[in-house]
Amino acid sequence: MEIPIATNNWLPVLLVSNSDFVTPITDVAFDATGLVVSYLKEGGSVTTLPLTSDNWVEADDGIYKAQFPAAACNAVGLFMYWVTLPAAVIYPGAVRVFIPETGEGAKTFVYTLSESGGIPIADAEVWVTSDEAGEHIVAGSQRSSVMGVTTWYLDPADYYFWSQKAGYNFDNPDKETVS
């Protein structure tokens, strides 16, 4: 399974009895005694997910979902999580966190690179972050077309576009508003 970087993600959890490894454990509330959800992201250390009624739900008999916030899912690579509960089998899960090439938002946004005289800059690498420091990549990278165009799918918000190409000096980042 794959999840996009820096997004809130609901991940499945199965709770079954450790006495027979089959019987589902039901009605486990987020504040159940001994319930702990932990995760490890690429390059990070083991972290405990604080549970609330907003990020822990029972979907079916013994099947739950835990929501991991965008800040937990902000490193490309392997994301492992596990749930411990007395009398239950430890449930491990693993997903791959990836950067969507064009984004996964609801709005189409066309970003064009050109020289000061309006001449398109083709074959430049472009990527998008949600922060000015460039630490949280939300989409990319893409190569600009012969007309200097890249097309993105982003939700309404402010974004920072970064560009690079040998022989060019770009004013990075370029803040754009998607509406």
- Environment class of 124 (CB within 10 Å of its CB; exposed 0-12, middle 13-18, buried 19+): buried
What local confidence, expressed as pLDDT, does residue 86 receive? 95
CATH superfamily entry for domain 2-98: Immunoglobulins (2.60.40.10)
pTM: 0.64
- Domain residue ranges of the chain, discontinuous segments joined by +: 2-98, 107-178
> 75, 105, 106, 94: which is closest to 6 by C-alpha?
75
Do the first three CATH levels of 2-98 and 107-178 match, i.e. the same topology? yes
Q: Which residues lie below 8 Å from residue 57, measured CB to CB, with a gap of 6+? A: 64, 65
Cβ-based burial of 152 (10 A; exposed 0-12, middle 13-18, buried ≥19): buried
Element (H, E) at 87: none
Structure tokens at 172: 């990075």
Q: Residue 144 carries which DSSP code?
A: -
- The two beta strands, 91-98 and 137-143, are unpaired
In CATH, 107-178 is 2.60.40.1120: yes
Between CA 40 and CA 62 the distance in angstroms is 23
Residue of 70, 59, 72, 66 lying closest to 85 (CA atoms): 66
Q: Which two tokens stand for residue 52?
A: 């609330």
* pLDDT tens digits in sequence order for the chain, 179 residues long: 888 877 789 999 999 999 999 999 999 999 999 999 999 998 889 999 999 999 999 999 999 999 999 889 888 889 999 999 999 999 899 998 887 777 778 889 999 999 988 899 999 999 999 999 998 888 888 899 999 999 999 999 999 999 999 999 999 999 999 99
> In residues, how long is the chain?
179
C-alpha–C-alpha distance, residues 115 and 118, integer Å: 5
Closest among 79, 56, 55 to 5, alpha carbons compared: 79
